[in-house]
Structure formats: C-alpha cells, structure tokens
Amino acid sequence: MCQVDEDYHDGLERAEVPSVSKKCVKCKEASAAVVIRAGDTYCRGCFKEYFIHKFRAMLGKNRIIFPGEKVLLAVSGGPSSSSMLSQVQEGLSQNAHKKLRFLPGIVYIDEGGAVGQSVEERQRTVAELQAVFKATGFPFHMVPLEQVLDLPSSVVVTAPAASEQPASAYKAAVDHFIQSDSSSCSTAQDHEQTSVPEVQESHTQLLQQLIGSAQTLTARQDLLNTLRHHLLVHTARTEGYSKLMLGDNCTRVAVKLLTSISLGRGAQLAQDTGFADSRYGDIILVRPMRDYSAKEIAYYNHMFSVPSVFIPGGDTKTTDKASIQRLTESFVTKLQADFPSTVSTIYRTSEKLQTACRNSSTADQADRCLLCMCALDTAVENASAFQATLTSEQLSQNKPSGATGTENPRQNPAPVEQESTAPSGQCCSSGGEDCGRTERGGGGGCCSSAKEPERTDLKSLLCYSCQLTIKDMSSLERLPQYILSEAQRRQRRSQMREEISEFLLDDGDEGS
C-alpha cells in the first residue's frame, strides 16, 4: 500500500532531454542540427543522407517500379508531395550514388473551382507551380478538376493488368538497363509542358453544384478525393504511365487509417494505406513517402530549401469538429505532441492489416464499388452488423398505418428504377387511346416520347462507405455522366443475368 509520508524522490531519475548541442548519433563528430525523436539527433549532412536513403530503400525493397518505366508523380504543391518530387529529382541527378531508373512525369490537379477560388487566385497558384515544375526538367501536366465531368466510363472500369513477373525478372531488368546505354534515359523524355486549359464558367458551376450537393463536409471531402483519384488515373492512362506516385506521408497514413475505420472502410484499409494499390488494374498507385513523418518532411524542406506552395482546401480554417477527417487529424496530431510514438504505432499497425474480403485486384467488375473501385463488402451474412444496419434503416423508414404525405427524399437518397405496370413487350394500353399517359393522367407513358430516362439503384453498386457518402447527397443527378452511365450498364447486365440465370451452368456443373 502507498503511504502518504513515503518519500519517492530518491528513486526517480530525471529524463534527459535531447539537445541540439549534442553530437550527431551517426557520425559522432558534428553537432546535431535536428532532433527527430528522443535520442535521434542528426547533423545536417547525416540527416540528408538518412532522408535520401529511406526513400530509395522504400522503392528498392518493394521492387514494383522497373527500369525504364514511366511513373507519374501526383504533386499537389504541399510539403509531402514537393519533397517526393525533390527526392526523385535528386535520385535522377548525375552525382547520385544509386540512381533511379524510371522516367518521371508530373501531374497537378487544380481544385480551385471546387473550393471557390477566383480565377486570379487559380492562375497565380498555377504560375507558381509551373515555375517549380519547369526547374525540374520533367514533363508536367496541369489538369483542372472540371475535366472530371467529361471523363469516359472506362475510368471506373478496371483495365487488365500486366502479367505478374517473378522476383528474378526485376534483377534481370536492372542488369539489362545497366548494360544498355543509360544515357537514353535522359533523352527519352519529352519535356512537354501543358498549361491549364481554359475552363468554362458553366463547368465550374456544375462542379461546385456537384460538391455542394454533399450536405456534410465529411461527404464533400470523400467525394472530392474519389473524383481526384479518377482524374489522376485517367491522366496516367492517356499519357502512357503505368505507375502513379502519391505523396501520402506517415502522419497522413495514420490519420487516413483511423478516418477510414470511422467511415466504414475497414475492408478497404489494405488498399487505402498500403505501399502499392492495384485496384485499377493497369495503373498501380504507389506511396513512397509513407515512411516519413510530417515533422521529418518539414525539417528537410526547411533545411534544404525545397519549394512548396500553400493551396487552401475545403477544410481550411474549419473547426476540429467540422468533419470526421478534420476531427481525426486533430486527435492524432495532439496525441502525437504528448506521445511521440503515436503516429509510428498506428502506421506499423496498418502494415499488418489484411482483409477477409475478396482482393480488389482479382474481384470481378460487377463485384467492385462504382466509386472507389474496391471489392464490395456488402455481400455478408444475415447475422452481420451491416445487415443489422440495413434492417434498422428499413424499419425507421416504414410509415405507420394511415400516414399520408410524401416520403422524405433523404430517407431513400438512391433513386430506384421504376418498374412498368405493362407486360414486357406490350403497350401500356390495349386500345392505344390512353397510350402516353400514366394512371394519374400525366404525360410520360410507355409509348410517350417524353418517357423518363432510366434510373438506377446506386446503393447496390457501392461499398458501405460510399453508400454513406451518397446518402449525404441531396441529388444524385449531379454526379458525372460517366458514373451514371456505368451504373446503368451494370444494372442492365445484372438484370440480363437474372433473366438467363436458369440457362447458366454453375462451376460444379461444368465438370460433370
């Protein structure tokens, strides 16, 4: 038992706080210039060497990017993606110890129209980034987010991936690249420069209406992230790139992990936070900065003058409780200030996560989410939390007997395809005199030229998390046409499969 009058001061030792006056933990000679963690003090030269080595070790350990492959760097102008661009530029320089062997390109998505920036502000931001990109000598592409409204339906269709090569193929490719004329690597790149195309004001308004249709900041951030990924993948495909590098650092991965769990994306954590993400098939998303904390990146950018451009987003100057993403970020960063191992612990946990659902890279097209392209997590047993949630929603939407009035549109946000009362292949009226009119006397019968367009149940095509995002939208008609077209195509194929299901052979019947 503890005694009130006991003295514990003799047994306590004062923790020694690291100081920049100490020596570097690596070279043991120069004075420390930066303190990353308790006990990790580096001088300027050793810190740069440590930072560069970690980037190249991440790429070399995974062996995903082959020599001579075209890689597109998604640079937003922030500290993390700017540091990633600096590391690629450093790795391709002539005096690099272990040179990178891929062909880089840069893409920047101008999201100013979605967050309400003026034309002058967008032009000023683009001019600053163009100056940074031109200094690298890499080809770059400036793409406004408004182009997402004109994307083809192939964006949400998984393209066939290249055949998986054995581990020995990477070493053979490196040896072949070294033996060949390595100077061709620098001349093979076309130093093309694309400025931001002229954006019509009507497209900007449509984009703002689309983002504004999401009634919560959480849904707007999730929808914006989905549209950004679609545009990045489309740009990589059209420009001939096979890899897409993202600038997600360790802190961002930790925040995304907890955010995804809060948003019901537990089944997609391995794809959302892993080093490589192959959900799109031919385009593989790579996160080489996921070993760096935000603190390390900030120190490196400041000490070695890595340029970055601040661009306000939709959650800029918002409170901590404005959205789930904002609240999670505030929680992690504040906890990290008192417990420095918070981010690293969450990050190491994300490396061990695996999903029990079907792999997104091997799932059929009909079994993928229409928005995030991950394998659907809604095909579960009846005694599951998901089915319990659906049952609660259905019970809450049922009207009591004798209730009148129209239903609240938010209770069932996804429009369901209307079934015709007429038999298949027949007119709605045998005499034809009432053809073109509904039972209530309005226009739009089965033979009317003003027949309503086909409407699709989006909920059956989405994972649980994307269903929550769609539920927060006031109108689904503002979604881009490529999403609605693909939804109708999948719905028609599903109906066709049901109609001919009696004539299809099961896997067990083929062998008999």
Q: Kindly give the pairing relationship between strand 40-42 and strand 34-37.
A: antiparallel
* 460: confidence class by pLDDT, cuts 50, 70, 90: confident
**Choice among 32-41, 274-283, 381-390 with the minimum mean pLDDT:** 381-390
Q: Among 209, 189, 203, 242, which Cα is nearest to 110's?
A: 203
Q: Among 269, 247, 268, 248, which Cα is nearest to 257's?
A: 269
Residue pLDDT, tens place only, 355-407: 655 555 556 777 889 999 998 887 766 666 677 777 777 787 776 655 554 44
What's the whole-number mean pLDDT along residues 145-153?
93
- Asked whether residue 305 is assigned to any structural domain, the reply reads yes
Q: Among 288, 232, 229, which Cα is nearest to 88's?
A: 288
The CATH number that applies at residue 290 is 3.40.50.620
Q: Among 158, 370, 377, 179, which Cα is nearest to 284's?
A: 158
Is the pLDDT reported for residue 129 higher than 70? yes
**Residue of 28 and 443 predicted with greater confidence:** 28
pTM: 0.80
The pLDDT assigned to 52 comes to: 93
**Choice among 95-99, 134-138, 256-260, 489-493 with the minimum mean pLDDT:** 95-99
Residue pLDDT, tens place only, 190-236: 455 666 678 889 999 999 999 999 999 999 999 999 999 999 999 99
| Long-range contacts (CB closer than 8 Å, 24 or more residues apart) made by 59-64 | 59/100, 59/288, 60/98, 62/275, 62/276, 63/167, 63/170, 64/243, 64/275, 64/276, 64/284, 64/286
How many Å apart are CA 373 and CA 360, to the nearest integer? 8
What's the whole-number mean pLDDT along residues 470-479?
91
The pLDDT assigned to 23 comes to: 87
- Asked whether residue 322 is assigned to any structural domain, the reply reads yes
Is the pLDDT reported for residue 17 higher than 60? no
Radius of gyration of the chain (CA): 27
> Could you tell me what percent of the chain has a pLDDT over 70?
73
CB–CB of 116/212 below 8 Å? no
- Asked whether residue 395 is assigned to any structural domain, the reply reads no
Residue pLDDT, tens place only, 53-81: 999 989 988 888 988 899 999 999 999 99
* 429: confidence class by pLDDT, cuts 50, 70, 90: very low
The pLDDT assigned to 287 comes to: 95
**Residue of 245 and 36 predicted with greater confidence:** 245
* 2: confidence class by pLDDT, cuts 50, 70, 90: low
> Could you tell me what percent of the chain has a pLDDT over 90?
44
- Asked whether residue 403 is assigned to any structural domain, the reply reads no
Is the pLDDT reported for residue 174 higher than 90? no
**Choice among 217-221, 222-226, 346-350, 505-509 with the minimum mean pLDDT:** 505-509
- Asked whether residue 280 is assigned to any structural domain, the reply reads yes
**Choice among 124-138, 162-176, 339-353 with the minimum mean pLDDT:** 162-176
- Asked whether residue 463 is assigned to any structural domain, the reply reads no
240: left (phi over 0), alpha (psi -120 to 50) or beta: left
Sheet arrangement for strand 243-245: 193-194, 140-144, 103-110, 70-74, 243-245, 284-286, 276-277
User: What is the domain extent for residue 304?
Assistant: 64-161+194-352
- Asked whether residue 499 is assigned to any structural domain, the reply reads no
The pLDDT assigned to 102 comes to: 92
- Asked whether residue 393 is assigned to any structural domain, the reply reads no
Count the domains in the chain.
Answer: 1
Tell me the pLDDT of the chain averaged across its residues: 80
CB–CB of 66/173 below 8 Å? yes
